[in-house]
Structure 1
Amino acid sequence: MADADSSAVNCGSNGRVDTYMGLRVASIFIIMAGSTFGALFPVLARKSTWLHVPKSLFDFAKFFGSGVIIATAFIHLLAPGLEALSSECLSARWHDYPYALALCMLSIFSIFIVELVAFRWGTQKLANIGKTHDAHGHDLGSHAAHGPEGVSESKTVEASKSEASSDIEAASPKHNHVFDHNVLTQVIGVGILEFGVVLHSVLIGLTLAVDQDFKVLFVVLVFHQTFEGLGIGSRLAYLELPRQYYWLQIASAVLFGMTTPIGIAAGLGVRTTYNPGSATGSIVSGVMDSLSAGILIYTGLVELLAHEFLFNKEMLHASNSRLTYALCSMFLGCAVMALLGRWA
């Protein structure tokens, strides 16, 4: 029985797959279409002047996407990472310690340090810019710094403040330092989120290309990538970037749409030698899945849950019905993605 079990495990480098080749090639374009649509539609719909999407639908997409990302972290990344790094093909040293959980924890703290340093550096830079502007009288702060020097000038100063403030908000929001800080926070958060999702997407594309049970995994991944794209796209859509940086949202959505097809194409190219169940394949996928899980766990719990529900004044003061709607949308996204984990 032991010999039969050991022979059933293919730990070698031979992973040749020749079944469903036409469908495997077609999956590159089918999954590209689904994932790109999921990521790009929310971005284009929110900026569109002719496509009037109700705000409630955007809220659904945003919170549904949050649930998708959290479920992806635990069900589609951490669980496969644990399984890969406990493979029978690995040496005994890999079984002496929970490396997948340790790598996940390392990833969480690494992302925290990166964000902490980035925020401190960005805040200092914005403060320096603000001081420079105030010194030369180019910003609203210069008016406030000087203050009204007499009773007769108070109304004039207040009027100039109001006029300058409205001009800044309407015509040039990039001079508002609070706005800049919020943009920095959003860009870093979404950038970290996309980095983790991109690593995951390339790996599952590579796995799909060489998987023997292709049909079931293919169908599941079409929905998987579309929902995951929706999660990314809804976050990108809510980035309040200056108009000249709008292209970043489009480029990020397209990048996500390309990652899984790139993984599939690479997998088809190495299908004769790559075996995801081999020792090398298990180590690579296990390490990458565990690191990506840490990224998405941190992003999902801190950037999405905490910032959207606990630290968001709008949500704290929202009606019970709106809060319930947001929570149900998030739980639905989590449930759907967790259910897909039954097959992929």
Structure 2
Amino acid sequence: MHTPTSISLTVGAIKAMSPCVTDAARTLGCRDSAAASHLKLVSLVVIFISSIVGISSPIFLARYFQGKPVYDKAILVIKCFAAGVILSTSLVHVLPEAFAALSDCHVASRHPWKDFPFAGLVTLLGALLALFVDLTASSHVEHGQSKPTGDYLPVVTQEGTTGKKVENDLPNEELVKLKQKLVSQVLEIGIIFHSVVIGATMGMSQNQCTIRPLVAALAFHQVFEGMGLGGCIAQAEFKTGTVAYMCFMFSATTPMGIVLGMVVFAVTGYGDSSPNALIMEGLLGSMSSGILIYMAMVDLIALDFFHNKLMSSQMWLKKASFIALVLGSTSMSILALWA
């Protein structure tokens, strides 16, 4: 005979399990390996082209304005738009997906995942890792700046010509450029983590109902994310070969992730809803989110709005930059409706 307590516990257990059961029933009719593989092959080309368009647009725009009086102002506005895109990417896209992956019913029922908010912890570790890299690189640059070069210049005195040792410090502009290059490189690392996770998740999925809208959404996603990274690359003024390499790596990472996901599914049979895949997705997503949050808030927004002489001297430029920041955040946030 069932007691009221046992009945309530049974009902509670059924309710707790119902999301997994419902999801399985919903996706069963959409699973078609052949159709899913065809969509993935199409997505490789679409996402690669959209990524190239996104990341190269601000770079070509910066080259167009280079040498003109508005060059510095245009670069600043582009960079603020990029900061908004990157901040929205981390907070609206990456972080919620990481929390969702680690709180999935297949994962949250396991130890230790149900005992501790690992997504928040790994996000914190990602931000601290970005800070550590930033501090280490900045200290290295400043240490290199303070070293004397050991050069001798001829100095004419009353006794005749003699040699005098002088210290040639790097100009402040060069230090700024080194900092901008560091920011761009760390940003690309964080975005690559995110892109691999997105691509691998899509590659492991056999659900054509999920993949079909995701292809279009990811195309727009890569355009805006590419514009964010491209704006930072444009300001750093890398050499042409380095710019081409960084653009290619960004554009190829998501397609490579898709191929990786397809290979993983073919070899192991893990789908995008397997516990191990969800745990890996949650951890990598949290790490990249922490990196992107730090870089957007500290190295982009705070640096430009509070330590940029050009912006502090012209109020209209500060307003335009803030509007660009809001537009970048809004554009990327709206895409969360589809991707």
Helix, strand or coil: the match of 1:120? helix
Q: Write the deviation string for residues 254-281 of structure 1: whole angstroms up to 9, x where unpaired.
A: 2111111111222233344231221101
Name 1:226's counterpart in structure 2.
223
Q: In the alignment, does 2:34 pair up with 1:22?
A: no
The 5-angstrom pairing of residues 137-286 of structure 1 reads 137=153, 176-211=170-205, 212=207, 213-241=210-238, 245-272=239-266, 273-286=269-282
Name 1:34's counterpart in structure 2.
50
Offset at residue 7 of structure 1 (A): 3.3
> Is the CA contact 1:208–1:218 (under 8 Å) kept in the aligned structure 2?
no
| Equivalent of 1:67 in 84, 96, 101 | 84
User: In angstroms, what is the RMSD of aligned CA positions?
Assistant: 2.8
Say if 1:50 and 1:57 are closer, same or farther in 2 by CA, change over 3 A: closer
Say if 1:49 and 1:312 are closer, same or farther in 2 by CA, change over 3 A: closer
* Higher relative strand content: 2
Gaps of 5+ in 1: 138-142, 151-173
Q: Distance in 2 between matches of 1:50 and 1:293?
A: 33
Q: What amino acid is aligned across from residue 307 of structure 2 in structure 1?
A: F
Q: Distance in 1 between matches of 2:88 and 2:236?
A: 23
Say if 1:57 and 1:29 are closer, same or farther in 2 by CA, change over 3 A: farther
Helix, strand or coil: the match of 2:314? coil
Say if 1:256 and 1:49 are closer, same or farther in 2 by CA, change over 3 A: same
Which has the bigger relative contact order, CA under 8 A and spacing at least 6? 1
Say if 1:53 and 1:216 are closer, same or farther in 2 by CA, change over 3 A: farther
Say if 1:57 and 1:127 are closer, same or farther in 2 by CA, change over 3 A: closer
Q: In the alignment, does 2:337 pair up with 1:318?
A: no
Structure 1 vs Structure 2: percent identity of aligned residues? 27
Name 1:106's counterpart in structure 2.
125
| Equivalent of 1:120 in 125, 139, 164 | 139
Q: What amino acid is aligned across from residue 214 of structure 2 in structure 1?
A: L
Q: Distance in 1 between matches of 2:318 and 2:288?
A: 29
> Is the CA contact 1:232–1:253 (under 8 Å) kept in the aligned structure 2?
no
Name 1:337's counterpart in structure 2.
332
74-83 or 58-67, which moves further after superposition?
58-67
Q: Write the deviation string for residues 37-71 of structure 1: whole angstroms up to 9, x where unpaired.
A: 21123223433599999756655432221111000
Q: Distance in 1 between matches of 2:321 and 2:86?
A: 15
Q: Distance in 1 between matches of 2:78 and 2:213?
A: 26
> Is the CA contact 1:16–1:274 (under 8 Å) kept in the aligned structure 2?
no
Helix, strand or coil: the match of 1:136? strand
The 5-angstrom pairing of residues 294-305 of structure 1 reads 294-305=290-301
Gaps of 5+ in 2: 1-13, 159-167
> Is the CA contact 2:177–2:236 (under 8 Å) kept in the aligned structure 1?
yes
Q: Distance in 1 between matches of 2:311 and 2:68?
A: 23
Q: What amino acid is aligned across from residue 126 of structure 1 in structure 2?
A: Q
> Is the CA contact 2:65–2:74 (under 8 Å) kept in the aligned structure 1?
no
Q: In the alignment, does 2:113 pair up with 1:87?
A: no
> Is the CA contact 1:17–1:210 (under 8 Å) kept in the aligned structure 2?
no
How many aligned positions are there? 303
Q: Distance in 1 between matches of 2:307 and 2:242?
A: 26
> Is the CA contact 1:73–1:296 (under 8 Å) kept in the aligned structure 2?
yes
> Is the CA contact 2:201–2:281 (under 8 Å) kept in the aligned structure 1?
no
Q: Write the deviation string for residues 169-199 of structure 1: whole angstroms up to 9, x where unpaired.
A: xxxxx98442332222112111111100011
